Amino acid sequence: MPGPTITNVRAITTSPGDGSVQRRLIVVKVETSEPGLYGLGCATFTQRHEAVRTVVDNFLAPLLLGRDPRRIEDIWQTIHVNAYWRSGPVMNNALSGADMALWDILGKMAGMPVYQLLGGKCREAAAIYRHADGSTVEEVEDRVRQFMEQGLRHVRAQMGGYGGKQPLPKSPDGALPGAYFDPDGYMRSVVRLFDHLRETIGFEANLLHDVHERLVPIEAVRFAKELEPHRLFFLEDLLPPERIDWFRTVRQQCTTPLAMGELFVNSAEWRPLIDERLIDFIRCHISAIGGLTAARKLQTHCELAGIRTAWHGPGDVSPIGHACNVHLDVASPNFGVQEWGGFLEVEREMFPGCPEARDGYVYPSDEPGWGIDIDEDLAAKYPCPEGVLDWTQARTPDGSAVYP
């Protein structure tokens, strides 16, 4: 008996917020020949949303028309190699949008939530961590305590955002504009922050910190060693993907748990770290590596190596992407923790069925598929803003452009 076929594939872009919050979200909708049967997937590459839209609408749509949406693995492999040159955040996000949408369709056809298709729950909900920031150690402490009072056991502590907000040495005359920071001042301020947090809060909270790849390798090694006494739950993105060889040196020098993967787009980047047990948590942006199909394989690879998952989950992941994270979290034996940015009220209205977080945990929907939908009319009222990004134009005091 013939099944449904794919009749349409298209990208939906939206930026819910009030102007102060700009989240350029990309959702892929895959429609089928069966009335009312469609799937949604996250393809959010917020820094290059129009590039992803172009790939989805102009290249994936004609490639997928007429195919059986249940042949998820075959479609994933076909999309992955169809452009000949493969991987990269634009191509992978387009692939992810289609892939997640197919899993959504399969769940709806089976009458099951996606986590059931993955083998069922290992836990009822996923432990989350939130972001505590402030301009002083006292402000960060207050924010950490607020999250603890809400039931969270894991909190990421920053002070002044990525790279901190310390006074900067004078730059050379004529230095170009950019998002300036002082690496040495940043490191010293973070050590002081965690000195304060452990003295005032103690060790009951699992504290995390995100370096955001902003240090040169030898400084990163020293920084990880200096934070070792503070027993972080993990230190995130200590080095950029281009410097993964240095993780061997870090591992030889200290036992600070390490999380890595936010910028990964290809298995060649994560395989050495996993095979040599050089990290403790994998935290890829699931849409940037190609969707649930790719993430499930990566999760199993990590499980065999004793490495836990901590998928990327900031505000610039669509609620569809967050739902994917959570379904995989509850079905994974080696789950560690889930980053959680929370939703704006307009996002909850725009995406009925958003995952629910309470008392330090986020729960997946028990409805078929992801259990989440999109109000396209409302999404259209919040077009994505254009313009050049400023925060990724990071520079050190002498004016040098560096990793953001």
What is the C-alpha to C-alpha distance for residues 25 and 16, in angstroms, rounded to an integer?
Answer: 8
Do residues 149 and 130 lie in contact, with contact meaning Cβ atoms separated by under 8 Å?
no
CB neighbours (10 Å) of residue 103? 25
Give me the half-sphere count of Cα atoms (radius 13 Å) on the Cβ side of residue 109: 21
Q: Give the active site residue among 209, 212, 230, 285.
A: 212
CB neighbours (10 Å) of residue 65? 12
Check if 327 is active-site: no
Q: Residue 11: which H helix or E strand, with range?
A: strand 6-14
Q: Residue 26: which H helix or E strand, with range?
A: strand 25-32
Is the dihedral angle over the CA atoms 1, 368, 24, 260 positive or is it negative?
negative
What is the C-alpha to C-alpha distance for residues 295 and 311, in angstroms, rounded to an integer?
Answer: 9
Quick check: helix, strand or coil at residue 59?
Answer: helix
Q: How many residues does the chain have?
A: 404
Check if 361 is active-site: no
Do residues 370 and 40 lie in contact, with contact meaning Cβ atoms separated by under 8 Å?
yes
Identity of residue 181: F
Closest by Cα among 349, 277, 344 to 308? 277
* Residue 221 CB contacts under 8 Å (≥ 6 apart), including other chains: 246, 249, 250, 253, 254
Q: Give the active site residue among 162, 186, 361, 382.
A: 162
**Four-CA torsion 321, 156, 212, 126, nearest 10 degrees:** -30
Distance separating the N- and C-terminal Cα atoms of the chain? 53
* Residue 195 CB contacts under 8 Å (≥ 6 apart), including other chains: 230
Do residues 244 and 272 lie in contact, with contact meaning Cβ atoms separated by under 8 Å?
yes
What is the C-alpha to C-alpha distance for residues 127 and 154, in angstroms, rounded to an integer?
Answer: 8
The set of catalytic residues is 162, 212
